[in-house]
Amino acid sequence: MTMENSRSIEARRLCALAPIIPVLVVHDVAHARPLAEALVRGGLPVLEVTLRTPAALEVIAEMAKVEGGYAGAGTLVTADDVAAAVKAGAQFGVSPGATDALLDATEAAGLPMLPGAATASEAMALLARGYDVQKFFPAEASGGVGALKGIGGPLPQITFCPTGGINPDNAQSYLSQPNVICAGGSWVAPNDLITAGKWDEIEALARAASQLGQPS
């Protein structure tokens, strides 16, 4: 087993814990713990904190302390991003795409990684490097469910976490695909509810999302 494969195995384990990975944009570190606790209580333990705000690294550090949760860093683009995320305590990484430099950095750091791909060629390049679990991004803009069906025919050995444009109305159609293990979504933690500290409402959204993909 290669080291790359071992990290993809860990990414698969995390992706299998719940049907939805919350994609979080958090501006205030004071919101980190109660937000993470609400999402975990609601049944969504794997949390992607995007590196899009000045507070993101501190947020990851706080969320990593929440029992039963797994805090990861999203929007990893450079080796410096990886180093900062690992220092903050990120337990996994997510990227919108993949470069050799980025993958070299995550592999050197031993960080489980969900690298992004939008085309068959990108997916094949990642597979050749040992990543058989990938983020399909931006999902809706890249052809949505139809694209995943098309890629899944010749590349059934790749499993995806589609992210980008996923919402309660279309999530089920993605999760019903045989090559989809989970999906990333931001609707479970909207900014207005975070700002207002409405953790019970976020927990309810998480609980509903945690039931997606289940037999009716």
Q: Residue 28: how many CB atoms within 10 A of its CB? A: 13
pLDDT for res 215: 66
Options 48, 87, 140, 198, the catalytic residue = 48
Q: Domain extents for the chain?
A: 3-210
The yes-or-no answer on residue 203 being catalytic is: no
Residue 209 and residue 184 in contact, taking contact as beta carbons nearer than 8 Å: no
Output the CA angle 109-102-58, nearest 5 degrees: 65
Catalytic, 67? Answer no
Average pLDDT over residues 193-197: 98
What is the C-alpha to C-alpha distance for residues 132 and 195, in angstroms, rounded to an integer? 37
**What proportion of the chain, given as a percentage, has pLDDT over 70?**
97
What is the predicted pLDDT for the residue at 3?
45
Preceding peptide of 138 cis, ω within 30°:
yes
pLDDT computed for residue 213 by the predictor:
87
**Annotated active-site residue in 4, 37, 62, 135:** 135
- Calculate ∠ Cα 48-208-206, nearest 5°: 30
- Within a 10 A sphere around the Cβ of 157, how many other Cβ atoms? 9
Q: pLDDT category, 65, cuts 50, 70, 90? A: very high
Tens digits of residue pLDDT in 1-44: 344 467 789 999 999 999 999 999 999 999 999 999 999 999 99
pTM greater than 0.75: yes
Would you say residue 55 has pLDDT above 80?
Answer: yes
Structural tokens at position 137 = 């991004």
The DSSP-derived string for 184-210 is EESTTS-HHHHHHT-HHHHHHHHHHHH
Least confident of 4-18, 47-61, 113-127, 167-181: 4-18
Residue 8: the pLDDT is 85
Percent of the chain exceeding pLDDT 90 equals 94
Give the fold, CATH level 3, of 3-210: TIM Barrel (3.20.20)
Query: What pLDDT digit, counting tens, does each position of 99-153 carry?
Result: 999 999 999 999 999 999 999 999 999 999 999 999 999 999 999 999 999 999 9
Three-state secondary structure call for residue 91:
coil
